[in-house]
Amino acid sequence: AIPVRSSRLPLLSDAMPAPAHLFPLIRNCEISRICSTVCYCHHKHLCCLSSHFAHGHFRYAPQKKFATLYRPKENFNHFIHARDYASTPQRFYLTPPQVNSILKANEYSFKVPEFDGKNVSSVLGFDSNQLPANAPIEDRRSAATCLQTRGMLLGVFDGHAGCACAQAVSERLFYYIAVSLLPHETLLEIENAVESGRALLPILQWHKHPNDYFSKEASKLYFNSLRTYWQELIDLNSGETTDVKEALINAFKRLDNDISLEAQVGDPNSFLNYLVLRVAFSGATACVAHVDGVDLHIANTGDSRAMLGVQEEDGSWSAVTLSYDHNAQNKHEVERVKMEHPKSEEKNLVKQDRLLGLLMPFRAFGDVKFKWSIELQKRVIESGPDQLNDNEYTKFIPPNYHTPPYLTAEPEVIHHKLRPQDKFLVLATDGLWETMHRQDVARIVGEYLTGVHHQQPIAVGGYKVTLGQMHGLLAERRARISSVFEDQNAATHLIRHAVGNNEFGTVDHERLSKMLSLPEELARMYRDDITIIVVQFNSHVIGACQNEEL
């Protein structure tokens, strides 16, 4: 295995989670907000063709073959009456300590030493947290310091059709990036150490919550694939300094290629064989940040997002977008997909805002159903384990499937030079962005980090507010100041707002309690998994770096 220096004692699960069905059954869902009712399909990545109700019943996909993607008709009544269930007054409310216990269960914070022996860091530290909606959660997160090069890596990963692909990418991608950034001499040193059986240089220092486990069973397989990659980098040595953007793109593409290859080759170990197939047939989007001094690179594949929080001269907060969603709302992305396939396929490439009418993100890891030829899919399925061969979805070929691959894991990379007014970075899966606008995210995090959120005037946004309602808002803010409501983690604070905000933009404890009390089968109908990393920058170091460059 690859040696690492961890910022905490290693705590790995003794066993992998029980295998889930490769592709969970997909259903339509509904969100009931305080002021409006929005119809929403939670499994938006592998989704039905229509995400809203028609005349009181669910719309079916027109193709008969799609019937395998949906829950049996006899179970539909349960979901049709979900709105009635949700609108029924609940007698049970979580207490503030119980709410805090749920919100803080997965929070993690790390403070970066100002000087690590090599460089002065532009990162003060980061907070991260996750709130599940799926069981088990399909999101993953990662954070690590590069030990043989400079900089930090942070990323969020949104899985679909299960968590297998997101789990694998969260474990492996940073190693591929770190190896891509290593100079030729260091790669040779690592390879020679492996050949001679000596201890390897640690490449990454991981910063992990105890729940962020590594798959011990697959570590040897993953190591062998990574070693093959660095051996090829050694053979291709050009003698030039590695460009960060190029390294990020190469790492993303190579890992996705290895995921595909491992599934094709298989493994004599039945558990590993099933694992690599689960990884390949599920999918994951990724949004990764590499921070080195004033150089910030964002590599994004899919629809998770990166946003920069900027403090203006008057103290207000603004948001700078550092990634673009790869979906049907991105016209450039739609054009890219169309250009990669014959003109005769143009009408069928994007239907109902989904790739081939099925997949929401236009870029993702895994998802070999959208990358392999029909012949290859059939061969792998027929020679695979019974769990795979008996799964209806894996045997289903997407409609109008003529010129694969239709999907890529190649990231879009954006480079930004940090400035003293750039105070923080937010990386988050789409579970956050579906509930909050980036400007609200910038304001809430900015005010939290500067400690002024308790002193701001209460804004009611044009609503007519009675004296009693205003009294309630003031009482609520006074309660938030108390220690029971005070968050020590910026990501937790953001999740509290994302789930509990009312129409006035303040956290409503009753609403928050209700949302966190929902049983698993309903929670996924109201929201998605939420994973957030908030990175705080050191403005003094950034300013000093800027002055040195002038």
Range of the domain at 369: 96-457+465-549
Q: Quick count: other Cβ atoms within 10 Å of Cβ 378?
A: 13
Which of residues 35 and 112 earns the better pLDDT score? 112
Q: What would the pLDDT profile of 434-445 be if each residue is shown by its tens digit?
A: 999 999 999 999
Which of residues 231 and 5 earns the better pLDDT score? 231
pLDDT band at 123 (very low <50, low <70, confident <90, very high): very high
Whether 457 and 73 have beta carbons less than 8 Å apart is answered as: no
Q: Quick count: other Cβ atoms within 10 Å of Cβ 376?
A: 15
The mean pLDDT value for 172-183 works out to: 97
Q: Which one, of 543, 544, 541, lies nearest residue 116 by Cα?
A: 541
What are 158's strand-pairing partners?
139, 285
pLDDT band at 36 (very low <50, low <70, confident <90, very high): very low
What is the structure's pLDDT at 384? 82
pLDDT greater than 70 at residue 534: yes
**Domain total of the chain:** 1
Helices (H), 411-538: 430-433, 438-450, 467-481, 490-500, 509-517, 520-526
H/E stretch holding 351: strand 350-351
Q: Which one, of 286, 343, 396, lies nearest residue 61 by Cα?
A: 396
Rounded to 10°, the helix 270-281/244-265 angle is 130
Tell how far CA 502 is from the center of its chain.
25
pLDDT greater than 60 at residue 77: no
Which of residues 543 and 1 earns the better pLDDT score? 543
Q: What would the pLDDT profile of 328-345 be if each residue is shown by its tens digit?
A: 999 999 999 999 999 999
pLDDT band at 454 (very low <50, low <70, confident <90, very high): very low
SS3 116: coil
Dig out the tokens for 379 from the structure. Answer: 């061969």
What is the structure's pLDDT at 474? 64
Residue 220 within a domain? yes
Whether 323 and 438 have beta carbons less than 8 Å apart is answered as: no
The mean pLDDT value for 129-134 works out to: 95
SS3 537: strand
Using CA atoms, how far residue 85 sits from 31, 32, 78, 177, 312, in Å, is 12, 11, 9, 47, 45
What is the structure's pLDDT at 389? 66
pLDDT greater than 90 at residue 80: no
Residue 160 within a domain? yes
Apex CA 40: angle with CA 504 and CA 330, to 5°?
Answer: 95
Helix, strand and coil percent figures for the chain, each rounded to 5: 40, 20, 40
CA torsion through residues 215, 218, 221, 225, sign: negative
Rounded to 10°, the helix 184-196/219-235 angle is 130
Q: How far apart are CA 414 and CA 288, in angstroms?
A: 11
Which of residues 174 and 241 earns the better pLDDT score? 174
Residue 179 within a domain? yes
DSSP 8-state code for residue 216: S
What is the structure's pLDDT at 102? 95
pLDDT band at 413 (very low <50, low <70, confident <90, very high): very high
H/E stretch holding 548: helix 539-549
pLDDT above 70 coverage of the chain, percent: 75
Whether 412 and 300 have beta carbons less than 8 Å apart is answered as: yes
Whether 150 and 118 have beta carbons less than 8 Å apart is answered as: yes
End-to-end CA separation in angstroms for the chain: 44
What are 321's strand-pairing partners?
307
Least confident of 49-58, 150-159, 234-243, 503-512: 49-58
Q: Which one, of 384, 112, 426, lies nearest residue 289 by Cα?
A: 426
Helices (H), 182-218: 184-196
Q: How far apart are CA 318 and CA 287, in angstroms?
A: 21
- Give the residue carrying structure tokens 């409501």: 485
In CATH, what number is assigned to the domain containing residue 117? 3.60.40.10
Q: Which one, of 176, 274, 277, lies nearest residue 222 by Cα?
A: 176
DSSP 8-state code for residue 205: E
Q: How far apart are CA 390 and CA 274, in angstroms?
A: 13
Q: What would the pLDDT profile of 359-396 be if each residue is shown by its tens digit?
A: 999 999 999 999 999 999 999 998 888 777 666 666 78
Dig out the tokens for 420 from the structure. Answer: 């003293």
Whether 454 and 332 have beta carbons less than 8 Å apart is answered as: no
Backbone angles phi, psi at 176, to 5 degrees: -65, -40
Could you tell me if residue 290 is left (phi over 0), alpha (psi between -120 and 50 degrees) or otherwise beta? beta
Q: How far apart are CA 347 and CA 333, in angstroms?
A: 15
**pTM for this entry:** 0.80
What are 146's strand-pairing partners?
204
Residue 89 within a domain? no
Buried b / exposed e over 193-232, threshold 16 CB at 10 Å, is eeeeeeeeeebbbbbbbeebbbbeebeebbbebbeebbee
What is the structure's pLDDT at 306? 98
pLDDT band at 479 (very low <50, low <70, confident <90, very high): low
Least confident of 265-269, 361-365, 453-457: 453-457
Q: Which residues contact 257 (CB under 8 A, 6 or more apart)?
A: none
Q: Which residues contact 544 (CB under 8 A, 6 or more apart)?
A: 120
Tell how far CA 279 is from the center of its chain.
16
The mean pLDDT value for 165-176 works out to: 98
Average pLDDT score, the chain? 81
